[in-house]
């Protein structure tokens, strides 16, 4: 994914159309959305008009004024270009998708469940069953009800490696417009034409009426305020100069003004926002609004479901605990026999453990002449009957009830104490009995995902509290919570107490993120500040959340938070950089501006710029080029590190604050050398 991201940064297929887009964005209505760049455009028009007037009367220094005007327009153009590139990255995908959408045909399965007929993709209704075979484009969003296939989702994710989509499990959702590469699947359509993921994405990335997010609005106000302050600073100069007996050309004043106002961040602000949304899309997460992405950065509390997020989906057997006097081998053997026909993941894990630890090979039920006794809700046990003996395994109480008084009270007590011990440690005990005799206990354990503990430690450093949500009893939940390293847990969770927990946190002023898939998750998803619905989830859940994760991977919540933070950080870093740049620009332009009537001010020319004209030109050229130079950063985002706010701020202040002071000194000097060598000034 990183690969596809970085390669598309300089993709010519995006850059060239963006050039055209940059011209189209010169439309005043489009410019007016961005106060800083609008002001630059206005003064560019003003100086252009004055230039034409000067041209008519044949004033001097026309070449110099012309160059300034040229770079003023470049400044506006580069800002438009940045926005166009950011939009272009999403738009390119949307365009190709729109093409596939219109051409797609679906193989609608008839009432008999076997035959199909070809229908246009747009005519499919929710609930229709379609067959998709190797080479077919999936006609609309849906859920795999049968089969396994490898699917190329490059059209939406930009990731060319195929992904597996299969029925059941958490990878059953397929997206319209993606292509099946091998095998076949039957898909139940879940979205009608016009409301599919692609339709939403197209409207998101193409929506020229993109809503500004709250933080973006606040930042725009700050930038507008700074611009006004520099209006005062520059507008007062002609009068000061006239008192000193000099006059300053309008082009020079405009150059000073444009270099002082925060054009760098003003130009890149909307590109940063668009790129943030785009990063989520590339992450297979669809945010319904930019506001949700921003909120993700602010999240204080993360509610994570235990199963699938913190632990692997299923419990696994990790140990056989035999009663005193029973050889462990005997217990393992019995447990394995009882599980041979048990196709549940727990059952399979028992045979695996028996093989790995006790070297008991799997046997075939048929050759053993064995009959499987399946699990029922009444017996709460499963087992096997062979050679006249019967083996049972199941919930400890059920097994005890089954053996009745046949086992000695001593053995019952021992079994119970082992079972309690296991439960206390967060595991699930399964009793095993053979022919009415208690053998021991199978220790089933929730396996905490590798690396998850480190992730939680990282979240803690980011200042985010993690709460594990589980249906387990408090004792088991506490043990798993301790092992996984979450900060808190909610045991025996119900939709109601989940909702209460979110409200409680929010009352404390915290922002809460959670993910969910079921209909009963919908109220909590709606209440949470960031609610990520799984794409495989129910329609109700998807409507309630403000993000949809196409991969249905609850762990992604953590990355979503990082992307939100990255978005805010990039804005802050470029704002700081932009403002810090002003110092060097003053030292370039002020001495140049006043040199004619106060030659003493030449002492302020600490960069040793060649001439007043080259100094002013260098400053405005630097100001325009820095926008282009920072486009990649604004699209990629400032790297986020989970090191705590203090350390993060120190680092970013050093890079973008101090760097913002130093870089323009170097840059302006270098440009001055170049334009002097070229004889431009």
Partner 1 sequence: MTFSGWLQIILFCAIVLALVKPLGAYLTAVLGGGRIWLSPVFRPIERGLYRLAGTREDEEQHWLAYTLAMLAFSLVGFLALYAIQRLQGVLPLNPAGMVNLPADLAFNTAASFVSNTNWQSYGGESTMSYLTQMAGLTVQNFVSAATGIAIAVALIRAFARKSVKTLGNFWVDMTRATLYVLLPLCIVLTLVYVALGVPQTLGAYVSAKTLEGADQVIAVGPVASQLAIKMLGTNGGGFFNANSAHPFENPGALVNMIQMVSIFAIGAALTNVFGRMVGDERQGWAILSAMGLLFIAGVAVCYWAEAAGNPLVHALGLDGGNMEGKEARFGIALSALFAVITTAASCGAVNAMHDSFMALGGMIPLINMMLGEIVVGGVGAGLYGALLFVVVSIFVAGLMVGRTPEYLGKKIEAKEVKMAMLALLILPLVMLGLTAVAVVLPTGVASMANPGPHGFAEVLYAYVSAAANNGSAFGGLSANTPWYNTTLGLAMLMGRFLMIVPVMALAGSLVTKKTVPASAGTFPTHGPLFVGLLIGVIMIVGGLEFFPALALGPIVEHLATVAGQTF
Question: Could you give the residue numbers annotated as active site?
Answer: 305
Smallest gap from Cβ 507 to partner 1, in A, equals 8
Q: Which H or E run includes 319?
A: strand 311-322
Rounded to 5 degrees, φ, ψ at 203 are -65, -30
By C-beta, is 193 or 222 nearer to partner 1?
222
Least CB distance to partner 1 at residue 235 (A): 7
- 375 is annotated as contributing to ligand binding: yes
Q: Which of 32, 134, 457, 649 binds partner 1 (CB under 8 A)?
A: 649
If the CB atoms of residues 62 and 218 are measured against partner 1, the closer one turns out to be 218
For the purposes of burial, counting CB atoms within 10 Å of the CB of 239, is it exposed (0-12), middle (13-18) or buried (19 or more)?
A: exposed
Q: What does the radius of gyration of the chain's CA atoms come to, in whole angstroms?
A: 34
DSSP code of 209? Answer: T
Residues 348-407 within binding reach of partner 1 (CB under 8 A): none
Min CB(60)–partner 1 separation in Å: 24
Q: Which of 1, 32, 52, 244 binds partner 1 (CB under 8 A)?
A: 244
Q: How far is the CB of 232 from partner 1 (least distance, A)?
A: 5
Nearest to partner 1 of 348, 636 (CB atom): 636
Asked whether position 529 contacts partner 1 by CB under 8 A, the answer is: no
Write the DSSP string, 441-508: EEEEEEEEPTTHHHHHHHHHHHT-EEEEE-SS-HHHHHHHHHHHT-SEEE-S--HHHHHHHHHHHHHT
Q: Least separation, in Å, of the C-beta of 38 and partner 1? A: 17
Return d(Cα 475, Cα 487) in angstroms, integer: 15
Interface stretch with partner 1, choices 48-56, 69-77, 434-442, 640-648 (CB under 8 A)? 640-648
| Residue appearing with tokens 């929730």 | 446
Q: Which stretch binds partner 1 (CB under 8 A): 23-31, 200-208, 524-532, 564-572?
A: 564-572
Question: Is 278 among the annotated ligand-binding positions?
Answer: no
Task: Kindly state whether residue 559 participates in binding partner 1, applying the rule CB under 8 A.
Answer: no
Is position 456 an interface residue for partner 1 (rule: CB under 8 A)? Answer: no
Q: Is 376 annotated for ligand binding? A: yes
Neighbour-count burial for 125-149, b at 16+ CB within 10 Å, e otherwise:
eeebbbbbeeebbbbbbbbbeebeb
Q: Site for partner 1 (CB under 8 A): which residue of 18, 72, 86, 241?
A: 241
Written as six digits, the tokens of 391 are 């083996």
The side-by-side arrangement of strands in the sheet containing 437-448 is 311-322, 437-448, 428-434, 389-395, 381-386, 371-373
Q: Rounded to an integer, what distance in angstroms lies between the CA atom of residue 672 and that of residue 613?
A: 10
The reply to whether 298 sits near partner 1 by the rule CB under 8 A is yes
Query: Does position 42 bind partner 1 by CB under 8 A?
Result: no
Q: In this chain, which of 606, 650, 670, 674 binds partner 1, going by CB under 8 A?
A: 650
Q: For residue 439, what are the contacts with CB-CB under 8 A and spacing of at least 6? A: 322, 323, 326, 330, 331, 334, 432, 433
Residue 407: strand, helix, or coil: coil
Judged by CB under 8 A, does residue 607 bind partner 1? no
Nearer to partner 1, 436 or 657 (CB): 657
**Is 37 one of the annotated binding-site residues?**
no
Binding of partner 1 at residue 236 (CB under 8 A)?
Answer: yes
Question: Taking a C-beta distance cutoff of 8 angstroms, is the pair 68, 50 a contact?
Answer: no
Q: What are the distances in angstroms from CA 16 to CA 12, 13, 276?
A: 6, 6, 22
Out of 335, 350, 381, 462, point to the residue binding partner 1 (CB under 8 A): 462
CB distance 558 to 302 below 8 Å: yes
Q: Does 218 bind partner 1 (CB under 8 A)?
A: yes
- 652 contacts partner 1 (rule: CB under 8 A): yes
Task: Compare residues 188 and 585 and give the one whose CB is closer to partner 1.
Answer: 585
How does 163-193 read in b/e, with b if 16+ C-beta sit within 10 Å? bebbbeebbbbbbbbbbbeebebbbbbbbbb
Of the candidates 199, 45, 49, 48, the residue with the CA atom closest to the CA atom of residue 121? 199
CB 19 within 8 A of CB 81: yes
- 250 contributes a contact to partner 1 by CB under 8 A: no
User: Which residues in 530-549 contact partner 1 (CB under 8 A)?
Assistant: none
Rounded CA-CA distance 462/648 in Å is 10
Ranges within 256-285 binding partner 1 (CB under 8 A): 260
Closest CB 228 distance from partner 1, rounded Å: 6
> CA-to-CA distance for 246 and 236, rounded, in angstroms?
14
* Interaction between residue 629 and partner 1 (CB under 8 A): no
Stretch that binds partner 1, among 121-129, 169-177, 297-305, 401-409 (CB under 8 A): 297-305
**Candidate residues 221, 482, 539, 606; the one interacting with partner 1 per rule CB under 8 A:** 221
Please say which residue, 52 or 649, places its beta carbon nearer to partner 1.
649
| Contact map string, positions 567 to 606, toward partner 1, x by CB under 8 A | -xx-xxx-xx--xx-xx--x---x--xx---x-xx-xx--
Query: Is residue 342 part of an annotated ligand binding site?
Result: yes
Residue 314: burial class (beta carbons within 10 Å; 0-12, 13-18, 19+): middle
Residue 377 annotated as binding site = yes
Q: How far is the CB of 651 from partner 1 (least distance, A)?
A: 9
Of 1-9, 49-57, 63-71, 506-514, the segment contacting partner 1 by CB under 8 A is: 506-514
Segment 92 to 151, residues that bind partner 1, using CB under 8 A: none
517 is in an annotated binding site: yes
Residue 158 has a CB neighbour count (10 Å cut-off) of 19
Q: Is 393 annotated as a binding residue?
A: yes
CB of 283 to partner 1, least distance (A): 17
- The helix/strand/coil state of 186 is strand
Residues annotated within a binding site for Mg(2+): 517, 521
Residues annotated within a binding site for ATP: 342, 346, 375-382, 393
């Amino acid at each position: 994914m990183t690969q596809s991201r970085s390669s598309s940064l300089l993709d010519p297929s995006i850059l060239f159309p963006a050039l055209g887009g940059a011209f189209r964005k010169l439309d005043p209505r489009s410019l007016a959305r961005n106060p800083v760049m609008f002001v630059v455009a206005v003064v560019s028009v003003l100086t252009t008009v004055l230039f034409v007037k000067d041209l008519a009367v044949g004033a001097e220094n026309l070449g110099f004024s012309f160059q300034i005007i040229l770079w003023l327009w470049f400044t506006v153009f580069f800002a438009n270009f940045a926005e166009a590139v950011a939009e272009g990255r999403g738009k390119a995908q949307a365009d190709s998708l729109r093409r596939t959408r219109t051409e797609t045909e679906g193989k609608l399965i008839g009432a008999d469940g076997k035959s199909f007929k070809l229908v246009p993709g747009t005519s499919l209704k929710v609930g229709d069953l379609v067959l998709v075979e190797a080479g077919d484009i999936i006609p609309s969003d849906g859920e795999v009800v049968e089969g396994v296939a490898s699917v190329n989702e490059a059209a939406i994710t930009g990731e060319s490696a195929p992904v597996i989509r299969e029925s059941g499990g958490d990878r059953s959702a397929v997206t319209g417009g993606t292509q099946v590469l091998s095998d076949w699947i039957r898909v139940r359509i879940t979205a009608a034409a016009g409301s599919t993921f692609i339709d939403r994405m197209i409207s998101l990335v193409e929506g020229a009426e993109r809503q500004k997010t709250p933080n973006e609005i606040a930042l725009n106000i700050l930038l507008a305020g700074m611009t006004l302050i520099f209006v005062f600073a520059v507008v007062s100069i002609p009068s000061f100069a006239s008192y000193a007996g000099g006059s300053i050309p309008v082009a020079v004043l405009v150059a000073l003004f444009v270099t002082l106002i925060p054009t760098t961040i003003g130009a890149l602000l909307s590109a940063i926002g668009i790129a943030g949304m785009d990063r989520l899309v590339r992450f297979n997460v669809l945010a319904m609004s930019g506001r949700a992405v921003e909120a993700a950065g602010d999240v204080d509390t993360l509610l994570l479901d235990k199963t699938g997020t913190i632990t692997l989906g299923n419990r696994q057997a990790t140990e056989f605990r035999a009663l005193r006097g029973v050889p462990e081998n005997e217990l393992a053997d019995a447990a394995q026999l009882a599980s041979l026909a048990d196709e549940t993941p727990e059952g399979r894990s028992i045979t695996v453990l028996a093989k790995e630890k006790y070297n008991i090979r799997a046997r075939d039920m048929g050759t053993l002449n064995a009959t499987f006794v399946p699990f029922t809700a009444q017996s709460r046990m499963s087992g096997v009957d062979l050679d006249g003996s019967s083996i049972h395994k199941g919930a400890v109480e059920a097994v005890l009830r089954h053996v009745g008084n046949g086992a000695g009270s001593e053995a019952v007590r021992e079994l119970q104490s082992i079972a309690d011990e296991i439960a206390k440690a967060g595991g699930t005990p399964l009793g095993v009995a053979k022919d009415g005799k208690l053998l021991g206990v199978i220790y089933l354990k929730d396996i905490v995902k590798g690396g998850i503990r480190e992730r939680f430690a990282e979240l803690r450093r980011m200042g985010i509290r993690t709460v594990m949500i589980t249906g387990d009893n408090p004792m088991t939940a506490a043990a798993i919570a301790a092992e996984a390293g979450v900060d808190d847990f909610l045991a025996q969770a119900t939709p109601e107490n989940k909702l209460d927990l979110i409200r409680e946190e929010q009352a404390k002023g915290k922002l809460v993120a959670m993910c969910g898939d079921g209909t009963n998750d919908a109220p909590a998803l709606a209440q949470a500040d960031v609610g990520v619905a799984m794409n495989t989830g129910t329609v109700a859940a998807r409507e309630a959340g403000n993000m949809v994760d196409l991969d249905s991977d609850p762990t992604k919540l953590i990355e979503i938070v990082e992307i939100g933070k990255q978005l805010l950080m990039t804005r802050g870093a470029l704002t700081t950089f932009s403002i810090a740049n002003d110092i060097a620009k003053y030292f370039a332009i002020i001495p140049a501006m006043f040199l004619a009537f106060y030659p003493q001010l030449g002492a302020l020319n600490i960069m040793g710029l060649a001439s007043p004209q080259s100094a002013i030109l260098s400053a405005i050229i630097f100001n325009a080029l820095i926008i282009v130079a920072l486009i990649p950063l604004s699209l990629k985002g400032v790297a986020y590190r989970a090191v705590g706010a203090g350390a993060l701020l120190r680092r970013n202040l050093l890079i973008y604050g101090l760097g913002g002071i130093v870089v323009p000194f170097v840059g302006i000097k270098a440009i001055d050398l170049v334009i002097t060598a070229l004889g431009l000034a």
